[in-house]
Structure 1
């Protein structure tokens, strides 16, 4: 992996928290009015635009209700100013159907001067995910 600097290190720590299922550090990194975007509406139940910490908590609950992440690998974390772009791949099982799917993913993070995430966007293979859910 690349050498990580300030925000890149922060994002890498957030992924470590996600993999440990420790969501509080992730929520605490968000600004109070953070915008959290996940592609795939209306076919993916956890997809949508979430506003603020309480909404993002609901996102993680929906995500866990829908998917069992069997493999989540971070491949790259790139930082440019207050922006971070991370990419990797994942394997998951849709809990309702027990169907498996794989996807590459790309996530972007924008931070403010207080080191809080003000904007997050997640891009995955939404078609593969939606098909697994049906």
Structure 2
């Protein structure tokens, strides 16, 4: 019998369930679960945006993911060598539009609300 086909003979669980009564372990697992879920949600949303919003084929969208996987380590290496001042400027460049987006729905006197962006459906 091959090793991967062997079955366990005892009925003991692989992980003792009493470990989950420890608050630190449960809290740590929950803390690791949250960023994982956010990351998963981002990539699913990005894949849908590439295919439905930008009308890419699934193969082209997959190629974009491959480019992301190849470019991320290089970008991380460059980011570690950039001076802290440039990082602060970059955060300011990102923070400005974010605050503008968060204040976009706030009514102002005499302000004309912007039209909603409507993209044509993919054909």
TM-score tier, shorter chain, comes to under 0.3
Return the TM-score normalized by structure 2. Answer: 0.26
**Larger of the two Rg values belongs to structure:** 2
Larger RCO (CA under 8 A, 6+ residues apart)? 2
Return the TM-score normalized by structure 1. Answer: 0.24
Structure with the higher helix share, 1 or 2: 2
